[in-house]
Structure 1
Amino acid sequence: MDHLILSSEHFIFVVALLLIIGVLATKISTKLGVPALILFIIVGMLSGSEGLGFIYFDNAKVAQLIGVIALVIILFEGGLQTKFSTVKSVAKPALSLATIGVLLTTSIVAVAAKLIMDISWFEAFLFGSIVGSTDAAAVFSVLKGQNIKERLGATLEVESGSNDPMAVFLTVSFIEILTIDDPSYIMMIGSFFWQMGMGLLIGWILGKLAVNAINRVNLDSSGLYPVFAVSFALLAYSITDFIGASGLLAVYLSAMIIGNTDLTYRYSILKFNEGFAWIMQILMFVILGLLVFPSQLFTLDVIWKGLILAGTLILVARPIAVLLSITKMGFKWREKLFLSWAGLRGAVPIVLATFPMIAEVENSQMIFNVVFFVVMTSTLLQGSTISTFAEKLKLTGPTKVEPSHTLELVSIGKANAEIIEYVVNEESFVKGSRIKEIDFPDDVLINAIIREEDLITPSGDSQIEVGDILYILTSKRSKKALNKLLKV
């Protein structure tokens, strides 16, 4: 019994320590200009048996399970923040990159893998499939708070949120080809359309069901609404995956439907899932860091193969995929160059690299190690230079102002009113105006202004400045008109 208690205490202590270090790593990453996920992975590697020796971990199945759950939460949070209006404006290029782009990237990298890694063609295409998609966790993390032009940022986010199903389909298909004596190629093609179609259908159904349930069920505590919402994300994934369809696609679509609807306790749901996504991101990358052994990763064989394949992916495969996928879609050459450079790889390829390990595919350990090195190289090189690259290409928009204050709302779900937090930027129509000059609906009122570190009590003569954070009280019937006026 004492041994179990000590083991539990040791485990809880280590988890607490890793979370604290992970949270602090986000602050360090901002100062160093390095993506936080790289630091999370390093924390995991240092905590492993070949580092400080806190944890010995080599279970690919557990890593895959944690990785998939984390991706569900991260995709759900990203989908909640994605506006339908934004998706419509970039749907064609984003979906082209998510399908044709992944196929092209997979094929080009596969040729390089065949020449460099001394593996079969099917193993080479398996490798290409694993690194073929951009990663939602990496893209959402790196782009958050950046002032990249809206169309470009939206294209990358929608692409990364919707291209995982293609990568998963290709990876699973090539594993089947390598492990099954007589695979059916016709069935595989049919499986692709089944996965996409049913993923979209179930995502739409669960999204609508979640909205109705959240708005109609009167829960005793406001803290239960965010838990209720995220439960539908897990439900969407599990049901869809159970019938052999794309669970990740279902989660992303259901999240967009939920996020684009007026919700009870909307602010609480969004903030809870933002924090939950960070926890899962830290946990996922730390676990993936634990799964890799530095003595196997940082060998001359893995390093030179990884560098060449990373260079092929970043400098050849991704640019060609971008150029061919979005031809005649209104992007300038500078924008295409940026989209090529911003094709970040992250958790998804590493999680997918555990699939062949579990299926006991030949050379699976080597594939995992090289994939891990390629992802580290991509994230470190591209992730740390995205903002600078956009500035050099003159593709940045108005500086994004992140609110440094929050206003807790009580019982808003049971009232016929809502408070909206709005950040004034260079493009806001209210900038420079006095409150009495703004043509708000009659039942809309600005009841607080945060300017730098000061709280300002508004009056009719108060002038709105760029960077101000406005707390606007509106009736629910006027919220749609207010959002249209503010363009949110």
Structure 2
Amino acid sequence: MATGVEGALSPVAAIALVGVLGVGSQWLAWVLRMPAIVLMLAAGIIAGPLLGIFDPARDIGPLYGPMISIAVAIILFEGGLTLNFHTLRDAAEGVKRLVFIGAPLGWLLSTLALRYGAGTTWETAAVFGGIMIVTGPTVIAPLLRSARLARRPAALLQWEAILNDPIGALAAVLAFEVVLVLRTAEQAGEAVFSLVSGILIACALGVAGGYGMAWAYRRAKVPEYMKVPVLFASLLAVFAVSNEILHESGLLAVTIMGVVIANANLPSYEELRRFKEHATILLVSGVFILLAASLDFNALSQLTWRAGVFVVVVLSIARPVTVLAALATTKIPWKEQILVATTGPRGVVLIAVAGLFGERLVELGVEDGGIIGPLAFILVAASVVVHGFTLKPFAKFLGLTAAETPGVLLVGGSRWTTALAETLKKAEIPVLITDPNRGHLRRAREAGIDTFFGDILSEAAEMRIELNGYKIVVAATDNDAYNTLVATDLGPHFGRENVYQIARDKAGYARHALPSTLGGRSLASEATYNELNRLMWNDWAFSVTKLTEEYTREKWRADRPEARLLAWIDTEGEPHFVTDDEEAKAGPGVRLVSMLPPGETEQEGDAPAPDAEASAA
């Protein structure tokens, strides 16, 4: 790897290392099923202060600060893009209270925690207390993805994190302006005018930028291939202009711009949001690696035992009291209030803004202003580790996860999907059948299967179905084109490896073949809608067979040569659909879900496998 003087990495090598460490940490976290934030934090510290391989200030130079600022702006803009008002529903009142009551109360309690817990001066406590309003969308998003919370608590945490981030930055600006007036000859009236006008201009820029983009896209003023580049350039322009007027107000401007676009009902919205999500994953990874690698152990040595007291007070007193007071008298169940109250991880915005204001306080002569940066890092590290490892089990304990076991979403009501759903339900796997034709769901309702009457792609489905509770989608309607549309649209949400569709009638003809970018994976049966339901009419049945050390997958296949293997259930009860036999894990305790012809149906105690379960016809 190319290096410069004194072993420093070249800027290109340094940026490449950031990408490898950040994305590699996220991938490893996915493999190990660990919180990605924890691994990114560890990777940055190991590569930076521990081994000395990477020093952002040394290796990247003057671009380090602007890179962090722009990355945070893009992250907040993407967060704003996810805030569609339709997703609020019954969480709207809670979000308003967390913003209008929780933010000021959190500022006050954080200031008190700093003053009496960490022992800082009132000036440092007021500035840093404002910054601590933020709860970090860069951390909340990965945690929600892994914890799979129920819709309302997830919405509360997501909206609070994104909306309070720019509010926290502006609170710090307000407190700093007060300190500036007290420490210099600047007039209070001028400071207030500068602050208020800056906030109003930032709001105006955000609204104008959002409506301007929506108008241009809706009127086809921007060609399709330039929509994302124009969006990027516009948000950077809004951010820069707003920051020139009032420092840190750019975060407010880009957040508002994202919210406006999210609620403009644009045809290209999904493409824009997905691209931004991919960019945000890269940016979150990069920013965490940069900030962790920039950690100065000498600065941390300035902290005393009171820093630990401060962290404990913030996590165990200030955060819970703030949320519970804000959500008091609402209709939100107490379990959800407790979960939100005990979940307040801080992220990159806190560290980035704290470092900036810490330097400014020192320049003003506030002696303990320099400890803001180390305190911020310790709070972020502690909150990330604590919430990263406790959110999912605590949510499960409270019963606020979307589902204990990832479920299966069957699109299309038919004799075949109903029988498959009954089989999965007996195997204790959550299953839901959706269909826009109420008559197609009659058999499923009679069998006690959960159903949704409506189009799975509709806004009503998004609002009423806990999609986080399902891992696999099987599109199995009698309309091949609709199956392809469903699989293509839901692929990015569930992961294309988890979206399947039944075989198409004319898939074998070259002129009817579809590109690999459309549709889902084919089920192992390779059967069409008509063929699958014909098999059901001919008394084929579903069966679940448990493998043992003696009764392996190979023996099962030898005993059932005509069986159509569809899925397997691992030892933890999680379902996995397959495209061929080899995809099914063959270990003891694994259960195979298949269709068997008449005469081969396994009955309780009658199958070669001693643990074979009863079949569902």
Q: TM-score range by the shorter chain?
A: 0.7 to 0.9
Instruction: State how far apart, in whole Å, the 1-side matches of 2:498 and 2:164 are.
Output: 40
| CA displacement 1:400-426 (0-9 Å, x = unmatched) | 7899xxxxxxxxxxxxxxxxxxxxx95
> 2:275 — aligned with what?
272
Where in structure 2 are the equivalents of 1:60-459 lying within 5 Å? 63-87=64-88, 89-144=90-145, 146-180=147-181, 181-182=184-185, 194=197, 197-217=200-220, 222=225, 224-244=226-246, 246-263=249-266, 265-297=268-300, 299=301, 302=303, 304-359=305-360, 360=363, 361-398=366-403, 429-430=434-435, 445-447=482-484, 449=487, 452=498, 455-458=501-504
Instruction: State how far apart, in whole Å, the 1-side matches of 2:299 and 2:137 are.
Output: 27
Cα offset, 1:158, TM superposition: 1.0
Partner amino acid for 1:236?
A: V
SS at match of 1:331: coil
Structure-2 change in CA distance of 1:233 and 1:67 (3 Å): same
Aligned 8 A contact 2:435 2:454 in 1: no
Cα offset, 1:278, TM superposition: 1.5
Partner amino acid for 1:230?
A: F
- Gap runs ≥5 in structure 1: 404-424, 469-488
Cα offset, 1:443, TM superposition: 13
| CA displacement 1:140-192 (0-9 Å, x = unmatched) | 22212542121111111111111123211221233233344245556666666
Partner amino acid for 1:308?
A: V
Cα offset, 1:80, TM superposition: 2.1
Specify the structure having the higher radius of gyration (Cα). Answer: 2
Instruction: State how far apart, in whole Å, the 2-side matches of 1:445 and 1:229 are.
Output: 31
Instruction: State how far apart, in whole Å, the 1-side matches of 2:36 and 2:239 are.
Output: 27
Aligned 8 A contact 2:503 2:529 in 1: no
Partner amino acid for 1:243?
A: I
SS at match of 1:395: coil
Structure-2 change in CA distance of 1:172 and 1:86 (3 Å): same
Partner amino acid for 1:288?
A: L
| CA displacement 1:243-271 (0-9 Å, x = unmatched) | 33832233223223323445455444233
Instruction: State how far apart, in whole Å, the 1-side matches of 2:65 and 2:407 are.
Output: 36
Normalising by structure 2, report the TM-score: 0.63
Structure-2 change in CA distance of 1:196 and 1:9 (3 Å): closer
Cα offset, 1:19, TM superposition: 0.9
Cα offset, 1:81, TM superposition: 2.6
Aligned 8 A contact 1:109 1:309 in 2: no
- RCO greater where, 1 or 2, for CA within 8 Å and sep 6 or more? 1
Where in structure 2 are the equivalents of 1:35-46 lying within 5 Å? 35-46=35-46
| CA displacement 1:279-320 (0-9 Å, x = unmatched) | 2112211221232213432x4x63633321111111100111
Instruction: State how far apart, in whole Å, the 2-side matches of 1:365 and 1:342 are.
Output: 28
Give aligned-pair identity as a percent: 22
Structure-2 change in CA distance of 1:334 and 1:455 (3 Å): closer
Structure-2 change in CA distance of 1:435 and 1:182 (3 Å): farther
> 1:21 — aligned with what?
21
Structure-2 change in CA distance of 1:145 and 1:212 (3 Å): farther
Instruction: State how far apart, in whole Å, the 2-side matches of 1:291 and 1:402 are.
Output: 44
Aligned 8 A contact 1:176 1:183 in 2: no
Instruction: State how far apart, in whole Å, the 2-side matches of 1:313 and 1:354 are.
Output: 19
Cα offset, 1:55, TM superposition: 2.8
Structure-2 change in CA distance of 1:393 and 1:271 (3 Å): same
Aligned 8 A contact 1:214 1:229 in 2: no
Cα offset, 1:215, TM superposition: 4.0
- Gap runs ≥5 in structure 2: 410-429, 443-452, 459-478, 488-495, 505-527, 534-566, 568-574, 578-617
Partner amino acid for 1:378?
A: S
Cα offset, 1:205, TM superposition: 2.0
Aligned 8 A contact 1:322 1:336 in 2: yes
SS at match of 1:429: strand
Aligned 8 A contact 2:127 2:171 in 1: yes
Aligned 8 A contact 2:136 2:345 in 1: yes
Aligned 8 A contact 1:19 1:279 in 2: yes
Structure-2 change in CA distance of 1:61 and 1:309 (3 Å): farther
Instruction: State how far apart, in whole Å, the 1-side matches of 2:16 and 2:131 are.
Output: 32
Cα offset, 1:206, TM superposition: 1.3
* Cα root mean square deviation, aligned: 4.0
SS at match of 1:134: coil
